[in-house]
Amino acid sequence: MSDTITITGLIATTPRHVVTAEGLPITSFRLASSQRRFDKAADKWVDASTNWYTITAFRQLAINTVPSLSKGDRIVVTGRLRVRDWQNDDRTGTTVEVEAESIGHDLFWGTASFTRTVGSPEPTVEHIDTEAAVPAL
């Protein structure tokens, strides 16, 4: 399927968590993703421009974000992009939204301690890894 995107960036608003009347948990926040380009004159990578996204998570992922994510956190998100036009009284605009399939803290920027809440505590792998003989580093 197309329109799948992976983004790294900074949580720019305090995540809002709601449960709809139908019982659907939803978390949403704004994410700032700075793009980098190599500046040959300065001989280093510099920030080029920033893309802004609205990230939305549903169900179990939404529930797990509540104790995990805060404004200012650096994260990695993968999900489906949706470009939505909206109208609010006499104003109109375009929202660039990512419906998240996975969200995690970006370990490039820090360390994280993980507590598993879903599924059996002892995860099993269905197939045998046939490549035990990976050459040593």
Site for its own copies in 115-134 (CB under 8 A): 115-119, 122-123, 125-127, 129-131, 133-134
| Least distance to its own copies, CB of residue 42, Å | 13
Q: Is residue 37 a contact partner of residue 100, using CB atoms and an 8 Å limit?
A: no
For residue 62, the minimal CB distance to its own copies (Å) is: 9
* 49 part of the interface to its own copies, by CB under 8 A: yes
Q: Which of 12, 15, 22, 55 contacts its own copies by CB under 8 A? A: 12
Q: Is 41 in the site for its own copies (CB under 8 A)?
A: no
Q: Does 16 bind its own copies (CB under 8 A)?
A: yes
Q: What is the DSSP secondary-structure string of 21-40?
A: TTS-EEEEEEEEEEEEEEET
Q: Does 14 bind its own copies (CB under 8 A)?
A: no
Any contact of residue 44 with its own copies (CB under 8 A)? no
Asked if residue 83 binds its own copies (CB under 8 A), the reply is yes
Q: What is the secondary structure of 50-95 as a DSSP string?
A: EEEEEEEEEHHHHHHHTTT--TT-EEEEEEEEEEEEEEETTEEEEE
Residue of 62, 59, 82, 80 lying closest to 16 (CA atoms): 62
Interaction between residue 69 and its own copies (CB under 8 A):
yes
Name residue 93's amino acid: G
Q: Would you count residue 90 as binding its own copies (CB under 8 A)?
A: no
Task: Say how far apart CA 30 and CA 63 lie, in whole Å.
Answer: 17
